[in-house]
Copies of this chain bind each other. A is one copy, B any other.
Amino acid sequence: MAKLDGIKEIKIADDVFAALAHPMRRQILLSIHHRGTAKAGDIAARFDCTWPTTSRHLATLVESGLLSAKKQGRERIYSANSDLLSDLLHRWAAHFE
Contact = CB atoms under 8 A, between A and B. Distances in A.
Contacts of A93: 85-86, 89-90, 93
Interface stretch (A18-26, A35-43, A46-54): A18-26
Contacts of A80: 96
Nearest to A25: B17
A82 interface: yes
Contact of A33 (B10, B26, B89, B96): B96
A95 interface: yes
Interface in A70-89: 80, 82-83, 85-86, 89
A95 B82 CA distance: 9
A93 to B, nearest CB: 4
A13 interface: yes
A51 B2 CA distance: 37
